[in-house]
Amino acid sequence: MDEKKESAKTVNLHLSVLSGFCKYLMKQGVLESNPVRLVSRPKQEKRLPVFYREDSMQEYFERTKGVLEYGKYEDQLERMILGLLYGTGIRRSELISLNRDSVDYARRVLRVRGKGDKMREIPLTPSLCDEILLYLQSVDSLKCADRSDGAPLLQTPGGVRLYPVYVDRAVKAALGSVDGITGRKSPHVLRHTLATELLDGGTDLNSIKELLGHSSLAATQVYTHNSIERLQTVYKSAHPRAKTDGNHGD
């Protein structure tokens, strides 16, 4: 870290690789113990989750409002990917694994299989349910579409299940032309965005934890930092004493 100016994250990555190699050598009888365990690991700074502004997301959905009825299939699929990621906060892998029978239209819930093979149900807004039905009409018009109940909910123009790179490209393409979005464009940032907006709107942490499928509350608490930063900005611009830097005079 001192000589090569490497970050704590990089150093820890190197140590993890070395430790794994030493464990392998122990199994082979070359080493009696793992010397890397004696090396103290540098502390990494926790990075706060990045999120998009609500008005930027609204701009995208307003601009693409008629796509599901009149657009090309590729554009319809792109809109559906963004709608589900932003509307439910699911992970990229969870989005890809969705099937047609994952949606319960009567109860307006989405059944999602998350990490550790755990199932959870996520509420769907009436408008998102309608958009899914509109999208499925487009899928059914594809000659190569899979229309069975257990078929993928989201299908490529070739009628097969989505894959990670396809989702990443769709998100980058969709958000690339949105004013106000200049940073990283990824499915996970959409997940962070929903969590931050829910927290700002007064949703309790336990409810957000269940929605996102976190195994512990600690993973959800990181979003409180984003909300505190927003609160500080509002406080500085709106609070009477903050405007005068705490002074009682004009």
115 is catalytic: yes
Catalytic residue among 91, 92, 100, 192: 91
Amino acid at position 223, single letter = Y
Catalytic residue among 9, 14, 72, 115: 115
Q: What is the 8-class DSSP label of residue 101? A: G
Helix (H, G, I), strand (E, B) or coil at 88: helix
**Torsions phi, psi for 147 (to 5 deg):** -110, 5
| Angstrom distance (rounded) from CA 63 to CA 97 | 28
Nearest to 118 by CA among 87, 91, 146, 141: 91
187 and 92 Cβ atoms separated by less than 8 Å: yes
138 is written with which tokens?
């487009």
Catalytic residue among 52, 86, 135, 223: 223
Rg (CA), the chain: 23
91 is catalytic: yes
Query: How many CA atoms does the CB half-sphere of 49 hold within 13 Å?
Result: 25
| Angstrom distance (rounded) from CA 133 to CA 144 | 19
Q: What is the 8-class DSSP label of residue 42? A: P
Catalytic residue among 23, 120, 161, 188: 188
70 is catalytic: no
Catalytic residue among 79, 92, 100, 191: 191
- Which residue(s) pair with 121 in the sheet? 111
146 and 124 Cβ atoms separated by less than 8 Å: no
Active site residues: 91, 115, 188, 191, 214, 223
